[in-house]
Amino acid sequence: MISFQLAGSVISTIKEDLLPEGAKLVYVSPLEVMLLKMKISLVIGLFVLLPMVMFLVIKYLLKKNAINVNINKKMVAVSSIFAVIAFLAGASYAYYMMLPLFINYLYLNAAASGVVATYSIFSFISFAVQASLIFGVVFETPLVLTLLTRFNIVQYGTLLKYRKHIYVLCLVVGAVITPPDIISQAMVGIPLVVFFELSLVIVRFAGGTKK
């Protein structure tokens, strides 16, 4: 209920921050705005509940001896802090730097062709929210790979061996989670590759065994 009430403020903020001057938002179906608010409220709810869900899952797996790793409270606390910082950094990068440049570029390109920019409110807001979330997750890559190698779940040598395969996987992920156009796919796929390479550098010095 609280997240649904916040959805209206989120929509207004995104509109003020990202909608190019001269462009308009419209709704093309009677339930579009309501569905958009439901979608945003669901995202907010999942974001709030995700840390608790992850904690319960890890606690359950450790209790059942499903994973054999030595996890202490200090490591959990430090990893959680870095995870939040990395996610916020990625989401902020997308929202305050990448999206304004990208959306304005597309708007000016269309305006130069004599096209009037009229965006569906559902598509425009959903695109902004989705892009911010995706880049928040992308920025988590170094932390995730560092923890996986530190616990010997994944070996550093294995990451190097399958580097090209992971490149292809990054591009496939970019194609799956974005709209069907090559620009959106590249916006996700290329940063995934870049952060994978950054992760390898971090893992080399901070991870576990390098076999």
pLDDT over threshold 70, residue 171: yes
**Buried b or exposed e, range 87-103, using 16+ CB within 10 angstroms:** beebbebbbeeebeebb
Residue 18 has pLDDT above 80, yes or no: yes
Please give the average per-residue pLDDT across 25-45, as a whole number.
Answer: 89
Contacting residues for 171 by C-beta, under 8 A, at least 6 apart? 185, 189, 192, 193
On the question of pLDDT at 16 being above 90, the answer is yes
Q: Are the C-beta atoms of 124 and 25 separated by less than 8 Å?
A: yes
Beta-carbon neighbour count of residue 50 at 10 Å? 12
Would you say 166 and 194 are in contact if contact means Cβ atoms under 8 Å apart?
Answer: no
pLDDT tens track for 181-211: 677 677 778 888 888 888 888 888 775 555 5
What digits encode the pLDDT tens for the residues 58-87? 677 667 665 566 666 677 778 888 888 999
pLDDT digits (tens, 9 = 90+) for 141-164: 888 888 888 877 788 888 888 889
